[in-house]
Structure 1
Amino acid sequence: MCAAAVLAVVTPAASATESAVPPSTNVVGGTRAAQGEFPWMVRLSMGCGGALYTSQIVLTAAHCVSGTGANTTITATLGNVDLQSTSTTKVKSTYVYRSPTYPTSTGGDWALIKLASPVTTIAKLPIATTTAYNSGTFDIAGWGSATEGGAQQRYLLKAKVPFVSDATCKAAGGSYAGLISSAEICAGVMATGGIDTCQGDSGGPMFRRDASNAWIQVGIVSWGEGCARAGKPGVYTEVSTFAAKIAAAAATL
């Protein structure tokens, strides 16, 4: 499991339907999460992750869907670390809102999925509204591949990844040279790799504890080169940059 949601190749999803093919991403170098440890984690049927933003809205990545509009083809699974458990909650989508600035030079790899009915028994994950928590050590989790190119996981995996500065991230070269500093955050173990997000982790949250010791989401698994490669960190959507737009869009759904 890549400990820092990283996509092998960044390619937009084909559509917001079950046939969509998201970029590759999963948690590499992780361990199994305990039941109830991260209750707001969501698995989406097109092969992406997400987090419960409100009782009826899931926050995920724009590259996991094709556009804004009515959509009843996505199934959100939540409530259990074991995707095959009979106690999971499954809810269909009714609408998808895709960030209108993705993919552009200003970034914005985020999207909202409205569920057919609210999930009131599961905790939500608040998002960061300032840059105060955009550094330090982050947590990542997902059901994606545990190795680059590997199979998706049945059980939720978790890991920790350190912040990587914009300058260091850009110096990694390749796709990283085009990092959008105002809209993206990098994280990973630069020297050795070994921990990262991978295929299937796209759209999932990167999170940490805030000043009150409560969980807060600071990133969305977006892209990267391979999974858990040395010198190739994971790149995440900087949630605080888009917090106001996310809230405004959610209010219209």
Structure 2
Amino acid sequence: MTHRRKIHRIVLLTPLSLLALATAACDPETEPLDVEVDSADEAVARGDITDAGRPGLVRHDELFADLADPPPAPPSIDEGASDEFSIEEDDEGDAIYGGTTVPACGWASTVELGGSCTGTLVHPQVVIYAAHCGASYSKIYFGENYKSAAKSVTPQWCKVYPGGQPGNGNDFAVCKLSQAVNDVPIVPILMGCETSNLQPGKQVTLVGFGNADNGPYGIKRQVTTTINGFNGDEISIGGNGKDTCQGDSGGPAFIKLADGTWRVFGITSYGGACGTGGMYSMMHKGIQWFEQQTALDLTPCHDANGTWNPGPGCYNFQTNPGSVNDTWSGGCNAGAPSGAYSQTCGSPYSGNPNPPPPPPPDNGAPCTGCTEYSGSLSGPGDADQHPNGSYYQSTTSGAHEGYLVGPAGTDYDLYLYKWNGSAWALVAKAETASTNETIKYNGTAGYYAWLVESYSGSGAYKVWIKKPN
């Protein structure tokens, strides 16, 4: 049984010719695209959007119809770091003020903001950082070394809290990303009764890309220290040689809860001499503004006022985000997830279960030679491109196979696109009123991309893809 499609806003990553479109979307001197914009986007467009760039919006049925020819070979989605900021390599490899560099995928949600500040991915589409860092960011970088980033994303916009500044506990800023980052584990924001853990003497971990006592800016480092106390809406952390420094501004402070899972609570704001401790704004104090600006739920276990109200996303939080023992190509998802629904402030979620997708058949995949990918969709209209946000080239004719397994109680759909020389053309689709979809398409050589889209519901999914041999 098929169902009538809604018109959603989908951004499909194309060959290099798309870069011209992306540049135009961020260039204040370029004429705006002639696209359909809904009322929410119009409100954003009229708001305090900075030169971090405005989104290019296109309809599902007219994806990049006017693009130029693709290149001989597709680029990687993970772009290199900007050449606009130059740093040295960290020869020593150890120490922020009293701390250490992180292993691969350690504190994966800690990001670099393009040459000056640090931030935290708190939702697949949202980065929180500090108001005093400003809002002029065109790229956000993931990885352990800003100079050789594991991947980068472009913000739709970045905003600072009106009047936000160091000293008032409202050093708040936020970026909404143009593309959801679904392959980086999120450490949830400390909320509600969980904030009672913020007590003097409690151990916390600070993370950032800033200057160190024996290394340059641009290397992700961590340091474990303690809470000193409070000054109004600010929290004092560190000292005795264990501290953040210039360039760590906007970065996170993490704390471990009694159930073994971690939360993020702090935004690095200001301090004295590096090593003597500093002051931090607290994310939960600004959550209503963050959610109002992004129009997204950033607290899966609580309401914005701190009331315990767990949803299906209040589940499976990491117990070891600082030492993940994984690779970026592997999704950085090995950080010892708890595998349980959280009950830090009350009873766990008890509605319709929304666990990870059921396991594949006994042979490990639904087809021989398939490659498995995973992601999570936030709700109707949200979509992911595969493989891993990119596309692939098939040099021969043959069967393209896709197998989608979505979370229980949802309706996810599967699409296959082919680059026809001037646009991405939809060549196959599976739109049954089901959580699982299958496509088998016999196609000629060329560039192909898969799209997983939510018609209804949200949560994690898996998709297996096979291209002609």
Shift of 1:252: 6.3
CA contact (8 A) 2:169 2:282 kept: no
Q: CA RMSD in A?
A: 2.7
Please tell me the residue identity of whatever aligns with 2:175.
I
Cα distance, 1:245 vs structure 2: 2.8
TM-score for both structures, normalised by structure 2: 0.40
Aligned position for 1:238: 282
Instruction: Give, in whole Å, the separation in 1 of the partners of 2:211 and 2:166.
Output: 28
Query: What does 1:130-145 align with in structure 2 at a 5 Å threshold?
Result: 130=192, 131-135=195-199, 136-145=202-211
Q: Which residue pairs with 1:214 in the alignment?
A: 261
The answer on 1:94 being equivalent to 2:189 is no
Q: Deviation of residue 219 (structure 1)?
A: 0.6
Question: Paired residue for 2:69?
Answer: none
The aligned counterpart of 2:308 is none
**Distance in 1 between the 2:156 and 2:270 partners?**
26
Partner amino acid, structure 1, of 2:217: Q
Residues 1:200 and 1:104: Cα distance change in structure 2 (over 3 Å)? closer
Cα distance between partner residues in 1 of 2:210 and 2:51:
18
Moved over 4 A (4+): 15-19
SS in 2 for 1:165: strand
How far did 1:37 drift?
2.2
**Equivalence for 2:225:** 161
Aligned position for 1:171: none
What CA distance in whole angstroms lies between the structure 2 residues aligned with 1:245 and 1:126?
A: 17
Secondary structure of 1:208's partner? strand
Q: Is the 8 A contact 1:51 1:125 kept in 2?
A: no
In the alignment, structure 1 segments of 5+ residues that lack a partner are 1-14, 20-25, 167-178
Amino acid aligned to 1:240: H
Count residues in correspondence: 204
Shift of 1:243: 2.5
* Cα distance per residue 1:4-63 (max 9 Å; x no partner): xxxxxxxxxxx97699xxxxxx94111111112211110110411011111111111111
Per the alignment, residue 61 of structure 1 pairs with 130
> 1:137: Cα distance to partner?
0.9
Letter aligned with residue 45 of structure 1? G
For residues 106-134 of structure 1, what are the alpha-carbon distances to aligned partners after superposition, in whole Å with 9 as ceiling and x for unaligned?
53111111122111111122111232232
Aligned residue identity for 1:242:
G
Contact 2:168 2:234 in 1 (8 A): no
The match for 2:235 is 185
Counterpart check, 1:146 vs 2:193? no
Note the residue ranges of structure 2 that are not aligned, 5 or more in a row: 1-49, 53-81, 85-94, 298-469
Which one of 180, 197, 205 corresponds to residue 244 of structure 2?
197
The code of the aligned residue for 1:115 comes to L
Contact 1:129 1:241 in 2 (8 A): no
Equivalent in the alignment of 2:272:
225
- The aligned counterpart of 1:3 is none
2:294 aligns to what SS in structure 1?
Answer: helix
Q: What is the CA distance between 1:96 and its match in structure 2?
A: 1.1
**Counterpart of 1:37 in structure 2: which amino acid?**
G
Matched, 1:115 2:115: no
Do residues 125 (structure 1) and 190 (structure 2) align?
Answer: no
Return the alpha-carbon distance in structure 2 between the equivalents of residues 104 and 195 of structure 1: 20
String of CA shifts for 1:138-176, please: whole Å, max 9, x gaps: 10111110039x7314x321111111023xxxxxxxxxx
User: How far apart in 2 are the matches of 1:42 and 1:109?
Assistant: 17
**3-state SS of paired residue (2:259):** coil
> Aligned partners of 1:92, 1:37: CA distance in 2, in Å?
22
Q: Which amino acid aligns with 2:279?
A: V
SS in 1 for 2:119: strand
Contact 1:128-1:243 at 8 Å conserved across structures: no
- Matched-pair contact (CA < 8 Å) for 2:205–2:223: yes
- Distance in 1 between residues matched to 2:261 and 2:99, nearest whole Å: 22
Amino acid at match of 1:145: N
Q: Pick the structure with greater CA Rg.
A: 2
Does the C-alpha gap of structure 1 residues 125 and 101 become closer, same or farther in structure 2, counting only changes over 3 Å?
A: farther
The amino acid of 2:145's aligned partner reads D
Whether the aligned pair in 1 keeps the contact of 2:166 and 2:270 (CA below 8 Å) is no
Q: Report % sequence identity.
A: 27
- SS for the counterpart of 2:243 is coil
CA contact (8 A) 1:27 1:140 kept: no
- Of structures 1 and 2, the one scoring higher in RCO (CA 8 A, sep 6+) is 1
SS class of match (2:280): strand
Question: How far apart are the structure 1 equivalents of 2:131 and 2:273?
Answer: 20
Judged with a 3 Å threshold, the aligned counterparts in structure 2 of structure 1 residues 104 and 195 are, in CA distance, closer, same or farther, namely closer
Q: Is the 8 A contact 1:51 1:124 kept in 2?
A: no
TM-score (norm 1): 0.72
Shift of 1:74: 2.3
Answer whether contact 1:129 1:243 (CA < 8 A) is retained. no
Sort the Cα spacing of 1:89 and 1:248 in 2 relative to 1 into closer, same or farther, 3 A.
same
